[in-house]
């Protein structure tokens, strides 16, 4: 679709009313003024402590960018959206300023971007004294991406390049041990983008000669023809350069190419380089294109070729490559060893195998045979180096049981000569109550993230899910014995979580940065002293942000638990509108997202906290509170089954039962009118919403945003469904609300971004569902938002979405009690 055509569709709405069908051009609308005031309140900044603990970064955000930023030119190339003017990923700016404070809270430097300039997230230098930012210039005579430094010592902002940085493939990275940065740049002799001939040279042909099956998931924004291939090469090709910050001129590294990685080794001597090669594919994104993995020196010479990987069009669903994959440097400072993974089962999760993966390593000079450091019964899912020693935490995942195990592995020797692996974590990924937390990391001398060791063990921070809600914690765990002691746990009618653990131990205590909030107090940051012996902890405030929307102070919320008919425990956060008084009964909105579980006891675990700050933004359904609705937010809709292959066979029955239980709980508390209830959801929640309207009479109306409704359009699996359409046609049919559009007899509002690139949720999903409901005389309204993707960003789009939701609920749900 051309930019001109899409611009002409701004404000287009497809409207269905009882007994009539109207297609109308509308202008942008706004919701009630109380919602507009909340949306326009300045958002709280992101807060990021510096790696040395002596400074703090405050990243100022733009709340709702104007639609004109979404209307910039866009190319859809191999699964990536590109702004051709900037040669960068497409999207509106998010970070629009940065403020640097010292430990005493005094401002060292403040930098605000002008209109049309946006910042990327910072990358700290290995010594923690400077932060590297990308600066994207959009609305300028010279659009493009440049690099700038924020110097914590000098307190200054220093642009270090022009606007010719290419971040489409390679992210700028610091080189350990030297004052330099490796980055990709637009080649100086690139020339203009290739123009598309109005007369094609011939047809676009794809051919499969049989033999090995080649199932693929539903991808979007793929290459479509030779012109797209030429555009992909034009925009993704970069020239790697070494920037010397001591004043020497930039040095070209190797020839221009389509590079997707160029990471310096922790000893600063080499680069791990990955570049794409043809043939490209029209079926899969760029990360499945053929690639070469090499080690270079810092003069751009190839030291070793580690792998040459073919086009990955024939990977089994939920499978992996058969050859080497996941190449990365060992993170230990002063080393130059590459670690990677290889499948032992052909990469196919459906193949019976005693071992699925092995982990290998090879060090400089990168000759000879690699050493095997681990063999895994299940699929490799991650590796974290422990401090600067030879140990690493290697994690594997069992997809059938949804189970993870992490092993402490001695990577200093091959499997035969190493210490036996020690099992550190062993639990279901669905067991929120049993989650031990995540290891706390620190930056080593090379600037790499490694698991921090303190007092002979590691620190674990987690959300602390419990029957009373989340209670974040900080633990100490001995790596070899597993002995764990609690250092700190959130308590009281507040929610406080760990943001960072600062370097060092002072007087037997850690300094921990936490984020604290209550239902009426906005998140603020604290330095908390946490004794290693578990003694009393104290805190000192770092920030004092004020409530951005005081009109929400009167909102009441409660974490509620209840059970559905089969005994599975459920939970939700029940919100009551401002001004609620005892005895008030409100129309109800149930907002949810289904999830699959193996074990009903885990499905019933409480997730969330009643002590979180009450604020919302964007197109949140919680804005309905301002209009007098009660909201059951995050009402759990578990789909439970012992066999993950067939769990969806009872999807409909289980979500209907869960929805009925949610309404019954709100009604039993005397705060909601069960005859005036609506259901809503986004993405898979939209799919759920349409199914609930088709298969029950629980709700008076529904709101479905960015959903998928015809599962035959995602025939090689969706969400947690592993079977293909041809293996389980009845399930695909029964779960598709499109197939039951004649049963949707309650009003359905559908909203969808016209540029949705989420897998499976093509905009045509909502268009076809609307036509199906309309064709059977149902009541429906379809709102297509120009330039928007799966979520909605622009101010005009968010305002329109909320106005539509308020109007729809007021029209079809609110009414009078008992109507």
589 to each of 41, 168, 329, 575, 813, how far by Cα in Å? 25, 42, 50, 10, 9
Rounded CA separation 242/321 (Å): 32
Name the burial class of residue 790, with classes exposed (0-12), middle (13-18) and buried (19+) by CB atoms within 10 angstroms of its CB: middle
Query: Which are the contacts of 553, defined by CB distance < 8 A and separation ≥ 6?
Result: 520, 547, 578
The catalytically annotated residue of 357, 740, 756, 797 is 756
- Report the alpha-carbon distance of residue 802 to residue 40 in Å, rounded: 14
Cα(511)–Cα(509) distance, rounded to whole angstroms?
A: 7
Whether 480 contacts 422, CB under 8 Å? yes
Q: What is the rounded CA–CA span in Å between residue 793 and residue 688?
A: 23
Q: How many other CB atoms are there within 10 angstroms of residue 247's CB atom? A: 6
Q: Write the DSSP assignment of 372-399 as a string of letters.
A: EEEEESSEEEEEEEBTTSSEEEEEEEET
Residue 552, CA atoms < 13 Å, CB-side half-sphere: 25
* Strands of 411-546, DSSP E: 422-428, 438-439, 441-443, 449-451, 453-454, 457-462, 473-478, 484-489, 495-501, 509-517, 524-531, 538-541
- Cα–Cα distance for residue pair 405/376, rounded to 1 Å: 10
Nearest Cα to Cα of residue 632 among 683, 669, 595, 686: 669
Is there a contact between 650 and 566 (Cβ–Cβ < 8 Å)? no
Catalytic residue among 238, 657, 683, 766: 683
User: Exposed, middle or buried by CB within 10 Å (0-12, 13-18, 19+), for 105?
Assistant: exposed
Q: Largest Cα–Cα distance in the chain?
A: 79
Q: Which of 372, 371, 322, 328 is nearest to 349 (CA)?
A: 322
Q: Cβ(501)–Cβ(440) under 8 Å?
A: yes
Q: Are the C-beta atoms of 801 and 750 separated by less than 8 Å?
A: no
The DSSP output letter for 35 is: H
Q: Is 809 exposed, middle or buried (0-12, 13-18, 19+ CB in 10 A)?
A: buried
3-state SS, 107-157, equals EEEEEECCCCEEECCCEECCCCCEEEEEEEECCCCCCEEEEEEEECCCCEE
Considering the candidates 109, 547, 771, 790, report the single residue annotated as catalytic.
Answer: 790
> Is 267 annotated as catalytic?
no
Q: How many residues does the chain have?
A: 819
- Cα 570 to chain center, whole Å? 25
Could you confirm whether 756 is annotated as catalytic? yes
Strands 270-276 and 594-597: unpaired
Map 459-476 to HEC letters.
EEEECCCCCCCCCCEEEE
Helix axes 684-695, 651-668, angle to 10 degrees: 80
Q: Is 683 a catalytic residue?
A: yes
Q: What are the start-end ranges of the H helices in 629-671?
A: 651-668
The dihedrals phi and psi of 565, each to the nearest 5 degrees, come to -60, -30
| Cβ–Cβ under 8 Å, residues 362 and 345 | no
Residue 434: CA count within 13 A, CB half-sphere: 11
Q: Which residues contact 320 (CB under 8 A, 6 or more apart)?
A: 343, 347, 379
Question: Are 175 and 126 a contacting pair, CB within 8 Å?
Answer: no
Active-site residue set: 683, 756, 790
């Amino acid at each position: 679709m051309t930019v001109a055509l899409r611009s002409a569709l701004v404000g287009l709405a497809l409207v269905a009313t009882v007994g009539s069908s109207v297609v109308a051009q509308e202008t942008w609308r706004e919701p009630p003024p109380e919602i507009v005031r909340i949306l326009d309140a300045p958002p709280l900044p992101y807060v990021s402590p510096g790696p040395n603990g002596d400074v703090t970064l405050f990243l100022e955000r733009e709340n709702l960018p104007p639609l004109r930023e979404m209307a910039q030119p866009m190319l859809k190339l191999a699964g990536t959206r590109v702004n051709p003017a900037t040669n960068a990923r497409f999207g509106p700016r998010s970070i629009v300023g940065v403020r640097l404070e010292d430990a005493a809270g005094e401002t060292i430097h403040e930098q605000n971007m002008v209109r049309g300039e946006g910042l990327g997230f910072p990358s700290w230098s290995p010594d923690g004294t400077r932060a590297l930012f990308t600066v994207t210039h959009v609305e300028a005579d010279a659009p493009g991406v440049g690099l700038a430094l924020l110097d914590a010592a000098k307190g200054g902002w220093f642009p270090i390049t022009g606007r010719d940085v290419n971040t489409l493939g390679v992210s700028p990275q610091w080189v350990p041990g030297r004052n330099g940065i490796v980055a990709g740049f637009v080649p100086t002799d690139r020339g203009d983008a290739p123009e598309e001939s109005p007369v094609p040279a011939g047809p676009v042909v794809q051919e499969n000669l049989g033999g090995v099956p080649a199932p693929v998931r539903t991808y979007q924004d793929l290459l479509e023809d030779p012109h797209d291939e030429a555009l992909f090469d034009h925009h993704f090709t970069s020239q790697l350069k070494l920037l010397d910050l001591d004043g020497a001129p930039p040095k070209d590294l190797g020839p221009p190419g389509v590079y997707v990685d160029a990471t310096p080794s922790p000893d600063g001597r080499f680069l791990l380089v990955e570049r794409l090669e043809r043939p490209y594919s029209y079926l899969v994104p760029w990360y499945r294109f053929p690639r070469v993995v090499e080690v270079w020196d810092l003069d751009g010479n190839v030291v070793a070729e580690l792998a040459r990987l073919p086009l990955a069009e024939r990977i089994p669903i939920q499978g992996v490559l058969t050859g080497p994959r996941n190449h990365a440097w060992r993170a230990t400072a002063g080393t130059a060893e590459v670690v990677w993974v290889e499948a032992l089962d052909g990469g196919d999760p459906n193949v019976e195998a005693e071992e699925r993966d092995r982990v290998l390593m090879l060090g400089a000079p990168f000759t000879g045979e690699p050493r095997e450091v681990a063999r895994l019964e299940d699929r490799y899912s991650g590796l974290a180096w422990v401090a600067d020693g030879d140990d690493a935490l290697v994690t594997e995942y069992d997809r059938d049981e949804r189970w993870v195990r992490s092993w402490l592995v001695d990577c200093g020797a091959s499997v035969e000569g190493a210490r036996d692996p020690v099992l550190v974590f062993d639990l279901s990924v669905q067991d929120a109550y049993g989650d031990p937390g995540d290891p706390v990391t620190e930056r080593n001398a090379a600037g790499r993230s490694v698991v921090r060791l303190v007092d002979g063990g590691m620190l674990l921070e987690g959300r602390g899910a419990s029957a009373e809600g989340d209670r974040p914690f900080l633990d100490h765990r001995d790596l070899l014995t597993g002995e764990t002691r609690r250092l700190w746990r959130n308590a009281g009618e507040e929610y406080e979580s760990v943001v960072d653990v600062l370097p060092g131990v002072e007087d037997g205590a850690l300094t921990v940065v936490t984020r604290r909030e209550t239902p009426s107090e906005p998140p603020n940051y604290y330095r908390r002293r946490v004794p290693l012996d578990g003694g009393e902890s104290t805190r000192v405030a770092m920030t004092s942000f004020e409530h951005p929307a005081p009109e929400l102070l009167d909102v009441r919320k409660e974490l509620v638990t209840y059970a559905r008919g089969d005994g599975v425990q459920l939970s939700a956060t029940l919100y009551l509108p401002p001004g609620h008084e005892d005895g008030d009964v409100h129309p109800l909105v149930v907002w949810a997202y289904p999830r699959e579980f193996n074990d009903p006891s885990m499905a019933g675990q409480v997730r969330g906290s009643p002590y979180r700050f009450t604020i919302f933004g964007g197109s949140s359904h919680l804005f309905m509170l301002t209009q007098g609705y009660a909201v059951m937010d995050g009402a759990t809709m578990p789909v439970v089954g012992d066999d993950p292959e067939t769990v969806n066979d009872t999807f409909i029955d289980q979500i209907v039962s869960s929805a009925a239980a949610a309404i019954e709980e709100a009604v039993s508390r005397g705060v909601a009118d069960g005859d005036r209830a609506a259901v809503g959801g986004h993405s898979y929640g939209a799919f759920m919403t349409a199914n609930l309207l088709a298969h029950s009479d629980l709700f008076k109306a529904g709101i479905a945003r960015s959903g998928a409704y015809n599962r035959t359009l995602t025939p090689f699996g969706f969400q947690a469904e592993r079977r293909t359409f041809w293996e389980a046609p009845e399930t695909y049919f029964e779960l598709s609300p499109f197939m039951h559009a004649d049963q949707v007899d309650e009003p359905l509002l559908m909203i969808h971004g016209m540029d949705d690139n989420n897998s499976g949720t093509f905009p045509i999903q909502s268009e076809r569902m609307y036509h199906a409901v309309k064709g059977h005389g149902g009541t429906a309204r379809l709102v297509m938002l120009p330039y928007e993707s799966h979520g909605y960003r622009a101010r005009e789009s968010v305002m329109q979405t909320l106005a539509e939701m308020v109007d729809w609920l007021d029209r079809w749900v609110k009414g009078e009690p008992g109507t």
